Chain A
Amino acid sequence: MAGNGAIKRDGGKGVKDMVMERIKSIKDIPPEENMLPGTPTCAGCGGLLALRHCMKALGRKIVIVNAAGCFTLLTIYPYTPFKNSWLYTAMACAPAGAQGIRDALDILIKKGRLDPDENLKVVVLTGDGSAYDMSLSSTSGAINRNLDFYYICYDNEAYGNTGVQWSGATPFASKTGTTPPGMLSPIGAELAKKDLFAIWNSHKPPYLATISPAHPVDLINKFKKAEQYKGPKLFIALSPCPPGWGIDPSYTVKLAKLAVDTGVWALKEAVFGNLKHTVVPKRFKPVEEYLKVQGRFAHLFKPVRQEGALNKIQEGVDEYWNRHKLLL
């Protein structure tokens, strides 16, 4: 069966990049698998699902530059799921690694030491802990230098690889290993999630978008659109994480959809700073529907309902959509 599968995974096509047009439905998603199974990520990892679609959109002529996180373990000697190149750097500096590779490829091509056909797109891949916290300096530098690269942040809203601790992306009232709800602080995380989209967008990069593993058509079209721009092309994927969020692995996609349908995760893009929402739910579901199915928010419902915190979360979401005049 595996042999059979290996042929199918290729969709019968070779390394050549397909020219990709905007797609309309799930049926149009390119059949090529550029990332093979057998990785050590958790069953039901939302980040992996998002990455799988990003890889379809990016093709194989890429080099991924990775920072410390769960996805560092995608390549474990002697295994790699990829048909493309990869470099693991460290937690703080994947964008700097992208800078070195991009510049080196450019100068080698310019000096005639590398065939232009050998050129690669440079793709940074990090978790939220890296993106929101430790690599802010190197990312800001790379965007500011207008580095021609992609950045994919799989945002599981915690330091996942170290066993789920608070990161700058952890939402208010979430339970993590370092924000345990207790007698004195029954809410869990007391700080609001950083708005990385806004931080990055203050640089007015050519392309910036939020994506969701549950919206692959939107995701792939965003990559397609980004392709036309030279410079930073940045993506943040809200990625349900079964062990971190306290959900059954089978529930990842449902939850990713709920995040969008409740308005918690706004699907949007910004071109040179100009913002547009790409998926706006017709009727927003109450945020509580999203919260109550997750173990990391269970303390908001039991043993006592944390009404104040629940209201605050809903108000935050409403405020966002009101501000953008999209709450009808």
Chain B
Amino acid sequence: MYRLRFHGRGGQGARVASKVLGTAAFLDGYYAQDFPLYGAERRGAPVAASTRIAEDPIMERGVIPEPDIVIVMDETLLQDPLTMPLSGLKPGGIVIINTTNSPAEAKAEYKINANVLTLGITKIGLDMLGMPILSTLAGGVAARIVGLSEDSLTEAVKKVLSSIITDKKLLDKNVAAALYCFNAITPIETKIELKTIDTNKKKSTVISLPFEPAAVSSPAINATGNTPLRMTGNWRVFRPAWNYEACTRCMICVARCPDGCILINEDGYPYTDYDNCKGCLICVEECPTNTLGKVMEVHAKKVIGN
């Protein structure tokens, strides 16, 4: 069995990518299963989705804890301590990263100890679709890696997208982009096999749950104001960037931020709490001067540092 896990940011299309792959595998005659992971998060948060492909009926469900292949649709997720897209990756497994870097560079930069493939699908998406929605592209890449056919991929993209979009032209562009990616990436030889193997390597021990009094065991929270620990800063695709020359300290950005992520420094200037800012960019939209602009996270990391 192949177990693939897609990691992306909300809106990038990880769920649809897993569907495209699942559908293509099914069309190629395999048993397939795809599954999006729902969290508490509404739109914007990192998203994971799983696809299983096998020659035999699949006796598993739910999230894939130990994938053979991980598709990282947003490079910055690799450094995100909460998402940890590579967690559980099997030895000999493959990581496919959406980056313009070479596999060797990515391996070095993110200290990855696995087979790495890279393809800059954001740029392909922007060029071919005119938008950074990567579902069909990531699906195309994954389909190639697991050895599915071009025909099934084409059919799968059409099937999955026709229930989401009505624009025929856009659908055709997606097919073209998926096929482009399918052909742009070269599979590598590795030891993962397409037959069912037991995933439960680390044995866990079943315990008898001890009783705890209600003061401990009721679903009440005695801590206060601790959501900043969740670090929703990892949701951002773009970040608000500051250039204080024009700032009049009008406080409009502070009043407009839904999450209260704009704080005031000693001199009365606003600044962003990047640990928590979700990147909605209302502040950029609302700033009456040119103090706020937006920068894509991938570049922000490189240009500004964090």
Contact = CB atoms under 8 A, between A and B. Distances in A.
So, do A and B actually touch in the complex, CB under 8 Å? yes
Interface of A: 1-2, 4-6, 8-9, 26-27, 29, 31, 33, 35-46, 48-49, 52-53, 70, 73-84, 160, 213, 216, 242-243, 249-254
7 contacts: A2-B228, A5-B273, A9-B263, A38-B229, A40-B45, A242-B43, A243-B43
Interface string B207-230: 000000000000101011111111
Given A43-B44, A79-B226, A250-B284, A37 B273 contact: yes
Of the candidates B223, B231, B232, the one having the most CB atoms from chain A within 10 angstroms of its own CB is: B232
Contacts of B40: 40, 73, 76
Contacts of A82: 224-225
A308 to B, nearest CB: 22
A38 B223 CA distance: 15
A80 B281 contact: no
Contacts of A42: 42-44
Contact of B232 (A8, A39, A77): A39
Given A2-B273, A4-B263, A75-B221, 5 more contacts: A1-B274, A1-B275, A5-B273, A36-B226, A78-B226
Given A1-B274, A253-B282, A38 B227 contact: yes
Contacts of A243: 42-43
Interface stretch (B69-77, B100-108, B252-260): B252-260
A9 B270 CA distance: 12
A79 B284 contact: no
Given A44-B282, A49-B258, A254-B285, A81 B42 contact: no
A174 to B, nearest CB: 18
Contacts of B256: 49, 253
B288 to A, nearest CB: 11
Contacts of B264: 8, 31
Contact of B42 (A5, A40, A216, A254): A40
Contacts of A52: 257-260
Contacts of A36: 225-228, 260
A77 B282 CA distance: 29
Nearest to B271: A1
B223 A80 contact: yes
